Structure 1
Amino acid sequence: MTLIKVKNIKKEWNGVSLFEGVSFEITEGERVLLFGRNGIGKTTLLQGLLGRLAFEEGSVYCGLDREEWGVLDQQLGIQSEVSTLEFVLSASGRLAELKHRLEQLARRLEETGGTDEEAVAEYGEAYDSYVQLDGYGWEAKAEKCLRQLKLEPSLWSQPYRLLSGGQKTRVQLAALLARQPKLLILDEPTNHLDEDTMEWLEEWVRTYPGTVLYVSHDRTFINRTATSVLELSPSGCRRYPGAYTQYREQKELEARTLEGQHRKQELEKEKLLESIRRYALWFQQAHSAARQNDFRRAKSKKNVSRLHAKEASLERLEKNRVELPKAAPKLNMKLESEVFQGDALLDLQDITLAYDGRPPLLEHFGLSLRRGDRLAVLGPNGAGKSSLLKLISGITQPAGGYVRVHPCTKIGYFAQELDHLKPDSTILDSLLELPGMTQTEARTILGCFLFPREDVFKTIGDLSLGEKCRVAFLRLYFGKANLLVLDEPTNYLDIDTRERVEEALAAYPGGLVIVSHDRYLHAKVANRLLLLGRGQKPQFFPGTFAEYTSRERSRILSPEEQSREGELRLLEMRLAGLMRSEPAETEHENRELLREIVSLRQEIGEFMEGN
């Protein structure tokens, strides 16, 4: 059964086409990812399907009543004092109306002392309807769904608009879980969710009995849930079966096929042009030599016939020419660091981290960060991940213990709130403030960060969240820090830009500390993990994210073991550096180099035996 059928729709903003010629169908039981770069119009397309805005051209067929649709909306604005529980209950329109009516009548009866006979009759009638529709069972179900999404009863009476981003997402999911609509429309459902909630959401979407259309930049979530990918572009859209990995494989195959066809056509074109040049020359020579000779004139005409045939072939080739798609602009970023010759970049010793008299987030905590460390900090929301990053960056101070920073350590901090950016400054002016920066250099660099032409004159306050992220990376680009502390660095970036950032971070020569919900980022970059939990002792895992998720997690270390692991890794780095060094100029220096290599190997062997 077809639930949504879109035919040749077009959307414009201020007279400029956002997308056009978009056609697709979604049938019952599918889980479809709406995919595309930031700014391509994915959320706009969803808003149009929901009837919240009109398309300039085309038609949209809906095979379901709107009551059977469920929506998770990141831009949902509720300004009233609707509580969390009321929001979930409001998902069922008729029952919500009856409950509200009962509450109004109860207040009226309380004010009149129960003497208002009309109110008594109305209350009885509304109560009977509410019981008949299983209103109290619905309330119990709503409360169960809130608990299932780890929303404690203490939050139920709080206004929805005052909740955090992650809490709002979970409240909306609870409302959808209670209703179980036949069609789900989800716009960035994974934003601000911790690992446990993310895993729950993946399983729920994967096994959902209805149909799901969603937008997401979380590649792990896509791979575990999508049955097909709908790629949106300015000139239309195309469907690919499978999830993100299959989509990338098909796109790479398409690119190779097009390149092969294009190369074959170019070779054929060169041959045709050479033939045309040759026949044209023969015709000129034969025509000049023919004069009144009938045989030579006939031969000349034969050459001109062949010339025309080749010209016709070239015309057909140009008409059916395979054009290579224009490469979309990509982020071009290389992060550099100042040379650091020391041992530890930073040490935390006996740290206590607490706020406003609440229970400590960390107690007697120790951490050592060395060159080459790529530490991913994992844990549920509220475990203290962002607080730890602020402590490492020197933004906050510990309630106990001390932070020792090496004199040559230079820290670059990326905050997920992006509130350290100057909203009134233009992108270009923010670069021109740097010493020695010229306008030509600034505009070249901004082009590498996907800010072309007139975009450089935008004020930072008017930028999208993804654009602000790129501005924040500009600061890291020029900072040349040897320790990067990154709090959700890819949250608002599309997948292509995320992959460019991952490549830059993987090649970065300094130390990294990262908090992120992007599991692909951890898998690409991290070589150590710090596991935080509310009310639990921090634990270290000396391995990659893939090792942590794919095997029994028996290698979790104590802080003391973590320190020894760091020392071992430092010895291995020194050995690798010596092995890569150029041969010395003298035989004596070469013998000294070999002796140091042998000594380091022996020290590493003894260290490993001692562990």
Structure 2
Amino acid sequence: MPIVSVIQLGKSFGAERIFSQLNFQIDPLDRIGLVGPNGAGKSTLMNILAGLEEPDEGTVAVGRTIRMGYLTQISAFDPDNTLHAEMLTVFAQIQEWERELSDLATQMAAPDAQQDHALYEGMLARYAELQTRFEHAGGYTYENRVAQVLDGLGFTREQQHAPFKHLSGGQQTRASLGKLLLQEPDVLLLDEPTNHLDLDALEWLETYLSTWKGAIVIVAHDRYFLDKIVTRTIELAFGRIEEYPGNYTKYLELREERMERRLREYEAQQAYIAHTEEFIRRYKAGQRSKEARGRQTLLNRMERVERPQDFQTMNFKFSPVVDSGTIVFSTRKLLIGYGVRARQDVPAAQEPKVLVQVADVEFMRGDRVGLLGPNGSGKTTLLRTLTGELSPVGGQLQLGHNVRVGYYSQTHEGLNMERTILDEIRQVSALSEEGARTFLGRFLFSNDDVFKQIGSLSGGERSRVALAKLTLQGSNFLILDEPTNHLDLQSRQFLEEVLSDYDGTLLFVSHDRYFVDRLATKVWSIEQGVLIPYMGNYTEYRTFKRPLVLDVPQPLLAPAAKKQVTEPEPKSASPARPAGKKGKGKVKTRTIEDVEKDIEKAETRVKTLEEELSEAALQADAARLTTLNEAYEQAKTQVEELLAEWEQLADVAS
């Protein structure tokens, strides 16, 4: 039985019709991917489903007890609250029951309560009732769930316990996603949930959603994500929807088959119509005029098959004007960061900060490298250093012979927001106005579109302008920073095809795992501040993780990361001793691994006490409940203290 029904839905903005007569249902365990070109109305439809916009016609019928959760809804965050405290507000009712249970346990242990039989029985009944509610609502696991979600979304312990107002815009979006997941609505509406997530957080979210107990409707441009989560695909295009069973890859296969069948039907009907019209023209005035009039009548009554509409696609290629030398660039003890003077006569704005240490590498002509790493790890800084926009903090970077660099910035900083699209293209080319307009048509800008100001364009339109400028440079070394951001799925696939045919050298950052899989022959991964090269595309990197260079720089690596790239230390190595303890016996310094073992033991103790509390509540054993409740609180305090110790050690290690 459907929990949401969309019936004859229609929406317009002014004279522009967005969609009409939409009909579909959402069932309790649906995993729906909503796909379609940019501007088709996907976000508008999601807003209507969430109740944030009203349709012009039709209705959205939602079950009486069904709770809808929408990612882009503005969560009521207290800016002075910590992120962790804000997540706990989701469980305010559970926390209230927890406090009442603790108070009741204390009151039942008092002599006065135990002597008053009626009072004691009343408190015991109330305790049993609250205990059932508390346990059913996940009272013993909600703090672990908060930690699981925040850790999975990539928030450090420091960020989790910092005021919410200190988070960046991207971090606040991730926090909104975390809060929404913890609320566990019956229908989860996710509009681009993969934005602002690095690859580790993406993979965590995929795992988390795979066990989601409710329905999900997702708008996303990440094909890998859609394939992992979605079991049903709804395409919104040309003002209507079409449904397909299966994930995104299956949708592409079925859509192609459907388009081919419809095109055959259309062409067959057009051939029949042309043949019939020719018969009518030839015989309408002769002996067979009656038959010709009959055919005309049938033709007039025929239901015409529309020519199938397909998505517009770009049409361009990258063509190097000259080949580079065999070595595109090489590095020697290279340190990447910021705060370095670009020229000796310009004072440094701040102390230099190293973000990435680069292994000594030679980047060869024809290499295709995908650069991966967590958000904030220095990927964009590395790319800007390679383009010469930033100076290295240390070491050497040498460009090869005849290397012509073309750079695509994810922020489109190379575009002049005051110019029109046409003027922007003519600034970097010798094209006439007519030639520039023809050229821009290959990037889906037609008619008066070319006179739009850059600053008024959508993210996807700006991306297409940036790509248009890049094709005019004739570069033989393309450095691309998130080139698929803002592009719809069809444009991403086309860009993959163009870059697959590119004869030059390629270095790119992308969170689109299909994009990395299709193009990369090597992966560079920034791990704990060190760039480590691996052989293969994304799938091979995740499966095998075969480093190409093992003698990578060490100073920025945390202890746990060093083990991946260095020989293990001899087991006989002496442990470090605290300062001031020399010559006074063996004192072992606690390591992160020691604390993690203690945390595991303490969390196991908490879980055991939770089970014992449940058993004591069922047996109505007040004395045992009091004892267990005290032990439970002490165990939770121990876990918190150990987590604080872990954070201190992690800060020292980093």
Give the TM interval when normalised to the shorter protein: 0.7 to 0.9
Letter in 2 for 1:88: M
Summarize the Cα distance change of 1:440–1:160 in structure 2 as closer, same or farther, 3 Å threshold: farther
What does residue range 528-543 of structure 1 map to in structure 2 within 5 Å?
528-535=522-529, 537-543=530-536
In structure 2, what is the Cα distance between the partners aligned to 1:27 and 1:171?
28
Look up the SS of the partner of 2:544 in the other structure: coil
Worse-matched range after superposition: 134-143 or 194-203: 134-143
What does residue range 206-605 of structure 1 map to in structure 2 within 5 Å?
206-280=210-284, 283=286, 300=287, 303-316=288-301, 319-355=302-338, 360-363=354-357, 365-535=359-529, 537-549=530-542, 551-554=543-546, 556-558=547-549
Structure 1 unaligned residues grouped into runs of 5+? 100-127, 284-299, 562-611
TM-score norm. by structure 1 comes to 0.76
In structure 1, what is the Cα distance between the partners aligned to 2:225 and 2:168?
22
Structure 2 unaligned residues grouped into runs of 5+? 99-126, 340-350, 553-654
Instruction: Report what 2:70 is aligned to.
Output: 71
Deviations 1:9-52 (A, max 9, x none): 22222342222222211010001111111111111111122222
The Cα shift of 1:329 comes to 2.3
Look up the SS of the partner of 2:306 in the other structure: coil
Instruction: Report what 2:2 is aligned to.
Output: 2
Summarize the Cα distance change of 1:359–1:434 in structure 2 as closer, same or farther, 3 Å threshold: closer
The Cα shift of 1:189 comes to 0.9
Look up the SS of the partner of 1:446 in the other structure: helix
Q: Is the 8 A contact 1:187 1:216 kept in 2?
A: yes
The Cα shift of 1:216 comes to 0.4
Deviations 1:307-326 (A, max 9, x none): 2333334334xx22222123
Look up the SS of the partner of 2:357 in the other structure: strand
Letter in 2 for 1:20: S
Summarize the Cα distance change of 1:26–1:431 in structure 2 as closer, same or farther, 3 Å threshold: same
Summarize the Cα distance change of 1:445–1:209 in structure 2 as closer, same or farther, 3 Å threshold: same
In structure 1, what is the Cα distance between the partners aligned to 2:440 and 2:241?
30
The Cα shift of 1:152 comes to 2.1
Q: Is the 8 A contact 2:186 2:214 kept in 1?
A: yes
Letter in 2 for 1:334: K
Instruction: Report what 1:118 is aligned to.
Output: none
In structure 2, what is the Cα distance between the partners aligned to 1:504 and 1:538?
28
Q: Is the 8 A contact 2:476 2:504 kept in 1?
A: yes
Look up the SS of the partner of 1:73 in the other structure: coil
Q: Percent identity?
A: 34
The Cα shift of 1:165 comes to 5.2
Deviations 1:150-201 (A, max 9, x none): 3223112444454345533432333234332222111111112122211111
Instruction: Report what 1:173 is aligned to.
Output: 177
Deviations 1:401-454 (A, max 9, x none): 111113421111112122332222222221232353322122222222122222
In structure 2, what is the Cα distance between the partners aligned to 1:161 and 1:97?
26
Look up the SS of the partner of 1:7 in the other structure: strand
Instruction: Report what 1:44 is aligned to.
Output: 44
Look up the SS of the partner of 1:532 in the other structure: strand
Letter in 2 for 1:383: S
Summarize the Cα distance change of 1:313–1:10 in structure 2 as closer, same or farther, 3 Å threshold: closer
1:84 maps to 2:75:
no
* Cα root mean square deviation, aligned: 3.0
In structure 2, what is the Cα distance between the partners aligned to 1:65 and 1:39?
33
Look up the SS of the partner of 1:58 in the other structure: strand
Q: Is the 8 A contact 1:5 1:62 kept in 2?
A: yes
Look up the SS of the partner of 2:155 in the other structure: coil
Letter in 2 for 1:490: T
The Cα shift of 1:142 comes to 2.8
Summarize the Cα distance change of 1:146–1:164 in structure 2 as closer, same or farther, 3 Å threshold: same
TM-score norm. by structure 2 comes to 0.71
Summarize the Cα distance change of 1:413–1:541 in structure 2 as closer, same or farther, 3 Å threshold: same
The Cα shift of 1:280 comes to 4.1
Letter in 2 for 1:50: A
Worse-matched range after superposition: 172-181 or 399-408: 172-181
The Cα shift of 1:365 comes to 2.1
In structure 2, what is the Cα distance between the partners aligned to 1:36 and 1:12?
17
In structure 2, what is the Cα distance between the partners aligned to 1:223 and 1:503?
20
Instruction: Report what 1:32 is aligned to.
Output: 32
The Cα shift of 1:496 comes to 0.6
In structure 2, what is the Cα distance between the partners aligned to 1:489 and 1:450?
17
Q: Is the 8 A contact 1:418 1:469 kept in 2?
A: yes
Q: Is the 8 A contact 1:352 1:360 kept in 2?
A: yes
Look up the SS of the partner of 1:239 in the other structure: strand
Instruction: Report what 1:600 is aligned to.
Output: none
Q: Is the 8 A contact 2:153 2:205 kept in 1?
A: no
What does residue range 117-196 of structure 1 map to in structure 2 within 5 Å?
138=142, 141-160=145-164, 162-164=166-168, 166-196=170-200
The Cα shift of 1:140 comes to 6.0
In structure 2, what is the Cα distance between the partners aligned to 1:367 and 1:61?
60
Instruction: Report what 1:21 is aligned to.
Output: 21
Look up the SS of the partner of 1:324 in the other structure: coil
The Cα shift of 1:136 comes to 9.6
Deviations 1:356-390 (A, max 9, x none): 66874333522322221111112222332222211
In structure 1, what is the Cα distance between the partners aligned to 2:77 and 2:417?
25
Look up the SS of the partner of 1:430 in the other structure: helix
In structure 1, what is the Cα distance between the partners aligned to 2:283 and 2:226?
58
Deviations 1:271-321 (A, max 9, x none): 32343345347x2xxxxxxxxxxxxxxxx4xx33332333334334xx222
Q: Is the 8 A contact 2:152 2:204 kept in 1?
A: no
Look up the SS of the partner of 2:43 in the other structure: helix
Q: Is the 8 A contact 1:88 1:142 kept in 2?
A: yes
Deviations 1:558-604 (A, max 9, x none): 1789xxxxxxxxxxxxxxxxxxxxxxxxxxxxxxxxxxxxxxxxxxx
Q: Is the 8 A contact 1:389 1:485 kept in 2?
A: yes
Deviations 1:438-471 (A, max 9, x none): 2212222222212222222222222211111112
In structure 1, what is the Cα distance between the partners aligned to 2:144 and 2:53?
36
Size of the aligned set, in residue pairs, is 506
Look up the SS of the partner of 1:538 in the other structure: strand
Deviations 1:60-104 (A, max 9, x none): 1111546x33222287797955542343234457679999xxxxx
Look up the SS of the partner of 1:505 in the other structure: helix
Q: Is the 8 A contact 2:337 2:378 kept in 1?
A: no
In structure 2, what is the Cα distance between the partners aligned to 1:175 and 1:456?
42
Q: Is the 8 A contact 2:83 2:162 kept in 1?
A: yes
